[in-house]
Amino acid sequence: MTEPLDLTGLQRRLAEFAAARNWQPYHTPKNLAAALSVEASELVEIFQWLTPEESARVMADPSAAPRVTDEVADVLAYLLQFCDVLGIDPLAALDAKIARNERRFPVPGPDDGSAGRERSES
């Protein structure tokens, strides 16, 4: 694989893959958003009966680990294809969101006992 591993390169390979199979008519933003959510749920499924502690050790389970990696790939694939068809830059979107969240959720001071008591951003 000589192609560099960056989002843009992967996005181009995904677009070529879909085009070569005439899948573009299926790749409406609505369908790609649904497919993204389906793959995210397949990731949830791996964890649904695990305790928090078991979930932290999931990559040590040789039957679960490759499934986790595979679902990560599927989520990223649909996210990139979704962004591609709509002309959205996912890195710029996240950069702007982090900046916004830094203003919305100021870091508590050292004497502020509330730190970590609540977790409610979205």
Report 36-75 residues binding its own copies (CB under 8 A).
36-52, 55-56, 58-59, 68-70, 72-75
What gap in Å lies between CA 40 and CA 72, rounded to an integer? 8
Least gap, CB of 23 to its own copies (angstroms): 5
Q: 104: which 2 tokens? A: 């919305």
Give how far Cα 92 sits from Cα of 11, 48, 58, 99, Å.
15, 32, 31, 11
- Rule CB under 8 A: say whether 22 interacts with its own copies: yes
Q: In this chain, which of 2, 61, 82, 111 binds its own copies, going by CB under 8 A?
A: 82
Q: In this chain, which of 87, 109, 110, 111 binds its own copies, going by CB under 8 A?
A: 87
Q: In this chain, which of 2, 21, 62, 110 binds its own copies, going by CB under 8 A?
A: 21
- Rule CB under 8 A: say whether 101 interacts with its own copies: yes
What gap in Å lies between CA 86 and CA 44, rounded to an integer? 26
Q: Cβ of 81: how many Cβ atoms within 10 Å?
A: 23
Least gap, CB of 111 to its own copies (angstroms): 14
- Rule CB under 8 A: say whether 34 interacts with its own copies: yes
- Rule CB under 8 A: say whether 8 interacts with its own copies: no
What gap in Å lies between CA 35 and CA 44, rounded to an integer? 14
